Structure formats: structure tokens, C-alpha cells
């Protein structure tokens, strides 16, 4: 039983109306019940209406048959977002004991042009769960193909993470993240996945084991594009709950210094520096000088502490978030440089 | 920057509700109850909800209820889902008609979808997402039945979805996304658990969502879109950080997305309008205290007077 055959025919223009197919002659279609007094009188037309009317008939009759399965395939093709059709399709699949690999072909086909539809991903997961660990690689290939077209597809990422945790397939995941970041270093989804891998992969030893090399990797990415917010946040994430390590890693202050000496956007470097100072960093003379040189109004005597100076610079540099930086300035810890 | 075309938006919503023979409404059929919630809440914020016949709406909503499980479907005869159930409850509350509902039956349905780890499934098929945690917690709170779930575990699960940037994803490890952040912060606000939110870190991430055109995006490097005016702004409001963005520029962005001739608001300037973005645009302007609009509650996504009626009597 190939559930997509009829809809393929339809694409070819040779679709036979359901009412004229002999296998459906015993079924009376059921129109949408609009409730006691319709608020919204939805008028159905043509194929869509007919398919839905027959769908309602098998649905209400609870018919778990091959033809019901085919019909849900046609109905999904026309309206893949309809929750009830998918729901019923699973009931039929469970009752019929069908070949689930066939079902996966159907989902592949449907998902290829509906990659942002919740129902399809949900159905896919239900299927993968039934197929078990052997399905892992195939699922990773599938999400890879979706992400090749839209590298930030939220559903694909959720599915991929679920498959990793439930069915495995971690071996090449860090390489995959690297590859996606090579394609687009601004891809926040790939940075998120990278964090997911280094913290959760059973093969890598966790954050502590990965921290050092990841810091180098991230710094390189930042230096290439200092305006990219994702690696700056990733860098902070690498020191989550480890303020001492954060303050004592000279690579971070060096990074800030390097970026501040360039002409690139310096907001994120100043922001990290501000956080470091708020956590007790003792700034070097060089750092102080670089920040001083960025001061807008140098006529004003600079007896303010370095953190306050940074806030004022940021207020001028990032006017859209002026209130945020002003708030930071008025909430600086009392005993900092 | 132009004014809010309030009267035209009212006409637009009323026309969508009556439209026939239209492909968009066919595709929306299964979301009918969500669409009704978006449209009706917009009308209420515009102070025009009396333009619809409340008895008709209420009886239609009630006919979407699954009599066996107690949850609501997206339309008459459709299967029940948490999201549809929340919309149904919200619509009934807009009309102050909870009296018609068997509250224990509905809240048992919702509570029955909580999983062992505290998360919620959207339906009997078990898809888990922090969106469903919000739907369940919001719905039960509106029904005064939060005691039917293990709220502590529900909160723990949401907190397990917190990321290094202070935001939240759909599942543990999932990327921060403004829509998911609204759901998580909303659920934490409703359960009195906002102390789990790192307000300054999240607030900064959220205000970084404001793009040069003044609009808000949902994730880094994405385009601004009117719907995020609601998700980002409501989250910022709940954590008291809404003044961190440039509110005038945001209002101008939303007003620029209006169809000034036929009413309705689109996702971005000059795109086609729809009910979804019309609701999020008007709700965003309401949070920005745009003159003439009713204030909206950032956690319950209902007008403040409706929420006050629920929790403080009339
Ligand atoms: Zn949108």
C-alpha cells in the first residue's frame, strides 16, 4: 500500500474524485459540522472539501483500513498542518501493523516541502521511536538534508537533539557543528548545538575536558568577526559557574584588548570587559589606556572608575540600548576598579 | 510614523471571521479556535469586542470540546490538544462565560498531560515542548486549578531548558528562541518562580533582539518580525526590563506593518496581513501603552481587566 500514490497522480492531473472510485462507493461523506450556530461558515470547495468529507466519514466510523491510510495520505498532502488527520493516521498505522520503513518514505516525501510543520516532525519522532537505535543514522542524514536548506530550522534541530539523546549517533557531531560554522559563523543554532555536544556527548568528557580547546576555537571565531554575538555568549558559557577561571584566563583580556584596538564593532568586547571588571578583574595599564582613548568626551576629568567609563562609551556607541547601558552604570558593584 | 488604524483593523478581523470560500480559511480550519482567540483578543484590546455576538461564539467554542477527554479541538469534531484548550478557555474568559464549563473536567484533562519529569505533552501522542508547559500552567491558573499538577516539577523542567545566554529552548539543550522564552518566563511568572530567571542576562539577550529597523527578531541574525514584538516585549515586561529597548522605534516598526487601506498587520512592512500578526502587533502596541488600547497582561495574554476579573472578582 503506497500512501502517496494517489497524491502523486493528483500532481500529474489524473486524480480521480474519491466519489467516483469503486472502493469508496459504500462510504457516505460527512461535511464539517459547524456547531449549533456557525460563527464561521467555512465553505469547502472541490477536491479539498471532498477529501475532507470522506476523511471525516472514516474518522467518525473509526475505520482502520488500508484505504483509510491512503486517504489520510491524500488529506495530508492537501493540508499537512491538520492535526486531526495525523492523529488518525497514527491510529490506523498502529492498528494495521504496516511496514514502518514505508511510512518513513511517506514522511520523507511530505517533509521535504513542509519542513516547518510541527505535525510532520512530531510524526517523524513517533516513527523513529518505534524504529529504535538503528534509525539514528538515517534520522541524522534526514535532519542534515533539511539543515542544508535552512541551517536554523528549529524543528530540525530539536529532532536532531532528541535523536542524539534517545538513539545515539554522536560520533561526528562536533565535526558537523564545525562544518556548519565554516559555512556560516553567525549561525547561532550551530553554536547552540556545539554547546549541546560538548556538554552532553558521552564521547567527549564534558565541558571541563573541552574547555581549553573550545576557548581557543571561539577566540579565533571572534577575532574573525568581532560583531558576532554568538561566540561571545558561547565563550561566557564555557566558564559557566567558574568565575575564578574566567578572571584568571589571560586569553580573555587579550581578546578584549585585540578587538578594542581594531575598528570593528567593539560593543561586545566592551561588554565582556565590563562583566570581567564587575567580577573583580584588576585591569592592566594597557587596558585602561585603550579604554580611556575611546572616551567620547575627554575634556571631562576621568576620575570615574573604568567600568563606569565603559558604560558611558557603550551608551554612545549603542544608542538603541542606551537605557540598558545606563542601567548597568547605575548598578555597578561598589568595590570595583 | 502614522497612527494605529484601529477602526480598519476591527473591520479586517470581522471580515476574516465571516469570510467564505477562501483558501486561507480552509487551511486555517484546524486552527479555528486559535484564530478566534487571536481575533477576539485583538477586538477586545481595540475596545470593540461587543461587535461580535458572544452567545454564538461561546456555543461554537463549546461545540469544539471533546466530550470524552474534556479537552478542546481546533474546530468542531477535531482532536483535543493543550494549545486549543488554552485558546478555548481564554475565549470563554473574554466573555466572562466560564460558568458554562465543567472546570474540573477540563483541568483534569490538562493535568493528565503532565509527565514524570514535570514536562507536559501537547496531547496523547506525547510530544514534549516548553510551549505545552505554558499552555498547561496558564490554563490551570486561569481555572484556579494549579493544585492539580506538580508545579514544583513543572518549574524544574522549565529551568532545565535554560541556556547559557539566559534564554530558554523547547527542550533541554534547545536553542533560545523568543517564542519559547515567552512560554517559559510566562509559566515561571504565573507560578511565582521568576527568581529562576537571570533577569539581567536574559534582559540583555532580549534587548539585543532589536534590529536597526526598530523591529525585534526571534533569534540572532534573523529578520525582525511583528510577532516578536509580542514575545520579546512580554518577556521583557515580565522581568521588568522593557525600558531597555527603544520603544518608539519598535512602535514605528509595528505601525509601518499596517495595511492602511484594508486593515490588518503583516509580519514585516509591505507583506500580506493575517490575523496572527494583527493580534501580535496590537498586543505589542498595548504593552507599549499605545493610546486608546486596553492594557494586556504579559503572562496570561489577555486584557488586564479580564485577568483582574478572574483573580480579584469584578
Ligand atoms: Zn511572525
The structural domains of chain B, with segments of one domain joined by +, span 6-312
Of A41, A118, A158, Cβ closest to residue B20: A41
Contact between chains at A321 and B208 (C-beta distance less than 8 A): yes
Q: Which residues of A are catalytic?
A: 116
DSSP state, B168?
B
What pLDDT, on the 0 to 100 scale, is given for residue A34? 53
Place of cell 584588548: A257
Whole-number Å distance, alpha carbon B59 to ligand 1 midpoint, is 30
Q: Residue A216, exposed/middle/buried by CB under 10 A (0-12, 13-18, 19+)? A: exposed
Contact between chains at B127 and A122 (C-beta distance less than 8 A): yes
The distance between the two most distant Cα atoms of chain B, rounded to a whole number of Å, is 52
| Interface mutation target, options A32, A34, A39, A278, chain B, most CBs of B under 10 Å | A39
Q: Which of A65, A98, A131 is the last residue of a domain?
A: A98
Whole-number Å distance, alpha carbon B277 to ligand 1 midpoint, is 6
User: Which residues between 193 and 252 in chain A have a beta carbon less than 8 angstroms from any beta carbon of chain B?
Assistant: 193, 195-196, 199-200, 229-230, 233-234, 236-237, 240
Q: List the grid coordinates of B258.
A: 499596517
What pLDDT, on the 0 to 100 scale, is given for residue A5? 38
Q: Does A55 touch chain B (CB under 8 A)?
A: no
Whole-number Å distance, alpha carbon B286 to ligand 1 midpoint, is 17
Helix axes A136-149, A118-131, angle to 10 degrees: 160
Neighbours of B220 (CB within 10 A): 21
Neighbours of B245 (CB within 10 A): 26
For domain B6-312, the question of CATH label 3.10.450.50 is answered with: no
ipTM score of the complex? 0.88
Q: Which of A98, A124, A146 is the last residue of a domain?
A: A98
Chain A residues whose CB is inside 8 A of the B78 CB are 83-84
Contact between chains at A42 and B29 (C-beta distance less than 8 A): yes
Q: Is the pLDDT at B30 greater than 80, yes or no?
A: no
- Convert A284-312 to b/e letters by CB count within 10 Å (16 or more is b): eeebeebbeebbeeeeeeeeebbbbbbbb
Q: Is the pLDDT at B194 greater than 90, yes or no?
A: yes
Contact between chains at B59 and A42 (C-beta distance less than 8 A): no
Whole-number Å distance, alpha carbon B220 to ligand 1 midpoint, is 15
Whole-number Å distance, alpha carbon B114 to ligand 1 midpoint, is 29
Q: Is the pLDDT at A43 greater than 80, yes or no?
A: no
Q: How many domains would you assign to chain A?
A: 2
Of B32, B81, B170, Cβ closest to residue A40: B32
Q: Give per-residue pLDDT as tens, A123-156.
A: 999 999 999 999 999 999 999 999 999 999 999 9
What pLDDT, on the 0 to 100 scale, is given for residue B314? 57
Q: Which of A77, A98, A119 is the last residue of a domain?
A: A98
Rounded distance between C-alpha atoms, residue A79 and residue B210, angstroms: 34
Local structure of B266: helix, strand or coil? strand
* A78 assigned to some structural domain: yes
Rounded distance between C-alpha atoms, residue B234 and residue B236, angstroms: 5
Whole-number Å distance, alpha carbon B303 to ligand 1 midpoint, is 21
Q: Is the pLDDT at A188 greater than 60, yes or no?
A: yes
Percent of chain B with pLDDT over 90: 87
| Interface mutation target, options B122, B175, B239, chain A, most CBs of A under 10 Å | B175
Q: Does A81 touch chain B (CB under 8 A)?
A: yes
Q: What angle do CA A146, B220, A277 make, to 5 degrees?
A: 140
* A89 assigned to some structural domain: yes
Rounded distance between C-alpha atoms, residue A289 and residue A301, angstroms: 14
Kindly identify which residue of chain B lies nearest to residue A122, measuring between CA atoms: B127
Q: Does A192 touch chain B (CB under 8 A)?
A: yes
Q: Give per-residue pLDDT as tens, A286-326.
A: 999 999 999 866 655 556 789 999 999 999 999 999 999 99
Place of cell 507599549: B288
Domain span at residue A257? Answer: 250-336
Contact between chains at B27 and A81 (C-beta distance less than 8 A): yes
Contact between chains at B78 and A83 (C-beta distance less than 8 A): yes
The H-or-E segment that residue A30 falls in is none
What pLDDT, on the 0 to 100 scale, is given for residue A119? 85
Q: Give per-residue pLDDT as tens, B247-304.
A: 999 999 999 999 999 999 999 999 999 999 999 999 999 999 999 999 999 999 999 9
Contact between chains at A40 and B163 (C-beta distance less than 8 A): no
* A216 assigned to some structural domain: no
* A127 assigned to some structural domain: no
Q: Does A38 touch chain B (CB under 8 A)?
A: yes
Q: Is the pLDDT at A224 greater than 80, yes or no?
A: yes
Chain B residues whose CB is inside 8 A of the A230 CB are 220
The H-or-E segment that residue B265 falls in is strand B265-266
Local structure of A6: helix, strand or coil? helix
Amino acid at each position: 500500500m503506497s500512501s502517496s500514490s494517489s497524491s502523486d497522480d493528483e500532481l500529474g492531473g489524473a486524480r480521480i474524485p474519491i466519489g467516483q472510485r469503486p472502493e469508496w462507493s459504500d462510504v457516505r461523506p460527512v461535511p464539517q459540522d459547524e456547531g449549533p450556530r456557525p460563527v464561521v461558515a467555512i465553505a469547502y470547495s472541490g477536491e479539498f472539501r471532498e477529501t475532507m468529507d470522506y476523511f471525516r466519514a472514516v474518522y467518525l466510523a473509526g475505520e482502520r483500513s488500508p484505504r483509510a491510510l491512503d486517504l489520510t495520505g491524500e488529506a495530508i498532502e492537501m493540508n499537512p498542518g491538520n492535526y486531526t488527520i495525523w492523529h488518525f493516521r497514527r491510529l490506523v498505522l498502529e492498528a494495521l501493523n504496516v511496514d514502518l520503513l514505508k511510512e518513513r518514505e511517506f514522511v520523507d516525501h511530505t517533509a521535504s516541502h513542509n519542513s516547518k510543520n510541527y505535525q510532520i516532525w512530531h510524526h517523524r519522532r513517533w516513527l523513529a521511536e518505534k524504529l529504535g537505535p538503528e534509525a539514528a543514522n538515517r534520522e541524522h542524514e534526514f535532519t542534515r538534508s533539511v539543515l542544508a536548506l535552512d541551517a536554523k530550522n528549529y524543528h530540525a534541530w530539536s529532532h536532531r537533539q532528541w535523536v542524539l539523546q534517545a538513539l545515539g549517533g554522536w560520533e561526528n557531531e562536533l565535526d558537523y557543528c564545525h562544518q556548519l560554522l565554516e559555512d556560516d559563523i553567525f549561525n547561532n543554532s550551530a553554536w547552540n548545538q556545539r554547546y549541546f555536544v560538548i556538554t552532553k556527548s558521552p564521547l567527549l568528557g564534558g565541558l571541563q575536558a573541552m574547555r581549553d580547546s573550545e576557548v581557543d576555537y571561539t577566540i579565533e571565531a571572534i577575532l574573525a568577526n568581532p560583531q558576532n554575538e554568538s561566540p561571545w555568549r558561547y565563550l561566557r558559557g564555557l566558564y559557566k559557574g567558574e568565575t575564578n577561571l574566567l578572571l584568571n584566563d589571560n586569553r580573555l583580556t587579550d581578546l578584549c584588548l585585540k578587538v578594542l584596538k581594531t575598528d570593528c564593532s567593539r560593543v561586545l568586547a566592551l561588554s565582556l570587559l565590563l562583566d570581567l571588571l564587575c567580577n573583580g578583574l584588576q585591569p592592566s595599564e594597557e587596558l585602561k589606556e585603550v579604554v580611556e582613548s575611546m572616551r567620547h568626551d575627554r575634556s571631562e576629568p576621568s576620575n570615574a572608575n573604568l567600568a563606569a567609563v565603559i558604560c558611558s562609551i557603550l551608551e554612545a556607541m549603542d544608542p538603541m540600548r542606551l537605557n540598558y547601558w545606563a542601567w548597568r552604570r547605575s548598578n555597578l558593584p561598589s568595590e570595583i576598579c | 510614523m502614522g497612527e494605529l488604524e484601529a477602526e480598519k483593523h476591527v473591520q479586517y478581523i470581522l471580515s476574516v471571521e465571516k469570510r467564505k470560500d477562501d483558501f486561507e480559511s480552509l487551511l486555517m480550519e484546524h486552527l479555528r479556535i486559535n484564530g478566534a482567540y487571536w481575533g477576539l483578543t485583538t477586538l477586545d484590546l481595540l475596545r470593540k469586542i461587543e461587535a461580535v455576538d458572544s452567545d454564538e461564539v461561546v456555543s461554537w467554542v463549546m461545540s469544539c470540546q471533546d466530550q470524552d477527554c474534556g479537552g478542546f479541538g481546533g474546530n468542531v469534531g477535531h482532536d483535543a490538544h493543550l494549545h486549543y484548550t488554552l485558546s478555548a478557555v481564554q475565549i470563554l474568559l473574554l466573555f466572562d462565560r466560564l460558568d458554562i464549563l465543567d472546570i474540573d473536567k477540563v483541568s483534569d484533562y490538562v493535568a493528565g498531560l503532565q509527565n514524570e519529569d514535570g514536562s507536559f505533552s501537547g496531547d496523547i501522542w506525547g510530544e514534549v515542548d516548553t510551549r505545552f508547559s505554558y499552555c498547561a500552567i496558564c490554563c490551570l491558573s486561569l481555572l484556579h486549578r494549579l493544585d492539580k499538577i506538580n508545579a514544583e516539577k513543572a518549574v524544574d523542567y522549565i529551568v532545565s531548558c535554560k541556556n547559557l545566554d539566559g534564554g530558554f529552548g523547547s527542550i533541554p539543550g534547545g536553542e533560545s528562541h523568543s517564542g519559547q522564552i515567552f512560554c517559559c518566563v510566562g509559566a515561571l511568572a504565573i507560578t511565582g518562580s521568576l527568581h529562576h530567571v537571570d533577569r539581567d542576562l536574559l534582559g540583555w539577550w532580549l534587548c539585543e533582539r532589536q534590529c536597526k529597523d526598530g523591529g525585534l527578531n526571534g533569534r540572532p541574525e534573523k529578520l525582525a518580525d511583528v510577532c516578536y514584538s509580542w514575545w520579546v516585549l512580554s518577556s521583557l515586561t515580565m522581568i521588568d526590563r522593557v525600558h531597555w529597548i527603544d520603544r518608539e522605534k519598535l512602535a514605528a516598526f509595528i505601525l509601518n506593518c499596517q495595511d492602511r487601506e484594508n486593515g490588518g498587520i503583516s509580519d514585516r512592512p509591505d507583506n500580506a496581513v493575517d490575523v496572527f500578526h494583527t493580534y501580535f502587533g496590537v498586543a505589542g502596541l498595548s504593552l507599549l501603552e499605545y493610546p486608546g488600547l486596553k492594557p494586556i497582561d504579559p503572562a496570561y495574554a489577555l486584557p488586564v481587566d479580564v485577568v483582574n476579573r478572574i483573580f480579584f472578582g469584578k
